[in-house]
Homo-oligomer: A and B are copies of this chain.
């Protein structure tokens, strides 16, 4: 028999794209079928448990991609600034300069939230932990590093919402450009 025309990963990438653009509820099987070029039955062959199975697979793949392309470089040895710059570059590509939404964000804001909340929250948390690493290496306290890392993810997600509202990724790209310097800025001590 001939090999599949596209790998399972290719299929999942397409599913991810549709989910990012339409959300869980908006991504109908008809649309997923059309986008992947596979009939509904073929989709069920790959993902026997249906739509939830597809979304779980999307999250699996996303997790793999983040580990490899985001968390890994952040955790690696190297100058903190260079590691943050690498993340920024990766994110700019992944979100296509702010024109594509975040899978996690779209899943959180919709009726499927409860179903995938643990996974989503875990990924956000790992992300924050990974960003905190270069900040600690730059001699920040654990708590300051974590607070700033959380603020970074907050900004990323928020900028993607604004960019989506405008259909223009400029906000996102401007935010990204400032991010490394903001994260590494000298720590101000609270006035007593």
Interfacial residues, chain A to chain B (CB-CB below 8 A): 22-27, 101, 104-106, 108-113, 117, 120-121, 124, 147, 150-151, 153-159, 161-162, 164-167, 171, 174-175
Contact across chains for A111 and B171 when beta carbons are under 8 A apart = no
Chain B residues positioned under 8 Å from A154 (CB to CB): 155, 158-159, 161-162, 171, 175
Chain B residues positioned under 8 Å from A165 (CB to CB): 104, 108, 117, 120-121, 124
**Partner pick for A109 among B23, B111, B151, B171, CB 8 A cutoff:** B23
CB-CB under 8 A for A105 and B151, given A25-B26, A110-B22: no
Chain B residues positioned under 8 Å from A105 (CB to CB): 109, 161
CB-CB under 8 A for A113 and B162, given A154-B155, A154-B171, A155-B151: no
Contact across chains for B117 and A106 when beta carbons are under 8 A apart = no
Give the Cβ gap from A23 to chain B, nearest Cβ, in Å: 4
Chain B residues positioned under 8 Å from A159 (CB to CB): 154, 158
CB-CB under 8 A for A23 and B151, given A157-B158, A158-B157, A166-B121: no
In whole angstroms, what is the CA distance A150 to B158 when docked? 10
In whole angstroms, what is the CA distance A105 to B150 when docked? 19
Chain B residues positioned under 8 Å from A23 (CB to CB): 23, 25, 109-111
Nearest chain B residue, comparing its CB with the CB of A114: B167
In whole angstroms, what is the CA distance A159 to B109 when docked? 12
Chain B residues positioned under 8 Å from A174 (CB to CB): 147
Can you spell out 19 A-B residue pairs with CB atoms less than 8 angstroms apart?
A23-B25, A23-B109, A25-B25, A26-B110, A26-B112, A104-B165, A109-B109, A109-B164, A147-B174, A150-B162, A153-B158, A153-B162, A154-B158, A154-B159, A154-B162, A154-B175, A155-B158, A156-B158, A158-B158
In whole angstroms, what is the CA distance A159 to B108 when docked? 12
